[in-house]
Structure 1
Amino acid sequence: MRAATGLWRWRHNPLRRTTDLVEAWVALVAALLLCLGVPAAGWAAGVSANASLQRSVRLQQQERVPTVAQVVRPADTAGEADRDGELGAEQRLRPAVVANWTAPDGSARTGTVTTTRNHAHAGDVFPLWTDRAGRAVTPPMHPDTARAHALIAGLTVALLAAFLVEGLRRLVVHRLTQRRYARLDRAWAQAGPDWGRTGTGS
């Protein structure tokens, strides 16, 4: 980061231009934002994301119940997998089986679910999570997983904020440089016709 390269323009000297002073202020503000604002934005985003995810974790733990399912037979096709629950595409790629399990209300349920076993045979048992209605669902998110997602969210926000600050600084410096060149062109246009003829009496 080169945000502080213009701070030398704070020095008082006859060659300092207004744009030099503006660039120094921009560099100082950018440095402060990168040192203070960016970490604060990342921390706030991470805390907010963690609070939201932890609420989801608690809600999932309240609404989802662990049970044990027993394999009846392998499913005919992977397309028999339950698409109405929360089983995502990744779970549907796992082996699908027809299984029996007990719902939270004590009723017996039979349906097509996925299992982490590579090979499932009739009579095999495996852990299964259901909702309060007895439908098969994915396991609840672990609190540590939620914290990891929140950390990634905070770091992402901090990184994006840093890019934004640096991008704005570069844009302002670019505009200031264009103004300097424009003023130099105007000054050169005024002095150009007399160049080299000073003191010749012409």
Structure 2
Amino acid sequence: MGVWRWRRNPLRRRTDLFEAWVAFAAAVCVLVVAPAVGWAAGLRVDGTLQRAASEQRHERYLVPAVVVRPSPEQAVDAEADPAAQRQTPQRTRIVASWTAPDGSSHQGTVPAAEEPPRPGDRFRIWTDTHGRLVGQPLDPASASFHAVAAGLAAALVIAALVETVRRLVVRRLMHRRYIRLDRAWAQAGPDWGRAGAGS
């Protein structure tokens, strides 16, 4: 729609041409620069997350654990407010024992793998080398998904920023046009329609 501003036209103002160039630059930024920034951000985040996932896979181990007994804190919580438990169901917590990859024995409170847990049941938990409980390592597919989301977010932020700047520039141009129009009308207005005034 702004192509007419580039054509030679007696009604075209310098601000029209400037606005057309601003719109063209904004379109190039939205269609070329924003995707390029998103792609670069996605690649960088993916590289960082994939390295973190690889480190976690080398530092975290899935070890067998045995149910010892129900957790005493779980029983106290259930007696204290059974209505809250019904509203926000939580996994049963148990006391379990496990052997770390370095050979040390450990015992602690963990979420139950199955409901209801029975003493002697076996399940697996993630620990570090020294037997401390850790979360499951980041999956490479999940890392890629987060990287894609970060890239899209970066591209959208750049596009929104470019569009905001374009709108501010156009608004400023419109304001200047109205000021010039008011000045021109102030000069021509008093003589409007008078014979011999040249209007």
* TM-score normalised to structure 1 length: 0.86
Equivalent residue for 2:65?
69
What's the CA shift string for 1:135-172, capped at 9, x where partnerless? 11111010000000101111111111111111111111
Kindly state the Cα deviation for residue 94 of structure 1 after the two structures are TM-superposed: 3.1
What's the CA shift string for 1:3-22, capped at 9, x where partnerless? xx323200111111010010
2: CA distance between counterparts of 1:198 and 1:77?
A: 99
Q: Residue 56 of structure 1: which of 52, 72, 81 is its match?
A: 52
Q: Residue 175 of structure 1: which of 172, 175, 195 is its match?
A: 172
2: CA distance between counterparts of 1:71 and 1:181?
A: 79
What's the CA shift string for 1:65-94, capped at 9, x where partnerless? 1111111111122599xxxxxxxxxxxx53
Q: Which runs of 5+ in 2 are unaligned?
A: 77-89
1:113 is paired with a residue of what secondary structure? strand
Aligned alpha-carbon RMSD (Å): 1.9
Q: Residue 31 of structure 2: which of 23, 31, 35 is its match?
A: 35
Contact 2:104 2:130 in 1 (8 A): no
**Corresponding letter in the other structure for 2:95:** V
Equivalent residue for 1:148?
145
What's the CA shift string for 1:17-39, capped at 9, x where partnerless? 01001001101101111110010
Q: Residue 158 of structure 2: which of 153, 158, 161 is its match?
A: 161
Structure 1 position 199 matched with structure 2 position 172: no
1: CA distance between counterparts of 2:170 and 2:125?
A: 59
2: CA distance between counterparts of 1:200 and 1:11?
A: 33
**Corresponding letter in the other structure for 1:77:** E
Structure 1 residues 200 and 169 mapped into 2: Cα distance closer, same or farther (>3 Å)? closer
1:167 is paired with a residue of what secondary structure? helix
1:120 is paired with a residue of what secondary structure? coil
Identity of paired residues, percent?
A: 55
Equivalent residue for 1:83?
none
Q: Residue 100 of structure 2: which of 99, 103, 118 is its match?
A: 103
Alignment size in residue pairs: 185
Structure 1 residues 118 and 160 mapped into 2: Cα distance closer, same or farther (>3 Å)? farther
Structure 1 position 190 matched with structure 2 position 190: no
**Corresponding letter in the other structure for 1:168:** V
Q: Structure 1 segments of 4 or more deviating over 3 A?
A: none
**Corresponding letter in the other structure for 2:154:** V
Q: Which runs of 5+ in 1 are unaligned?
A: 81-92
Contact 1:7 1:27 in 2 (8 A): no
**Corresponding letter in the other structure for 2:176:** R
* TM-score normalised to structure 2 length: 0.87
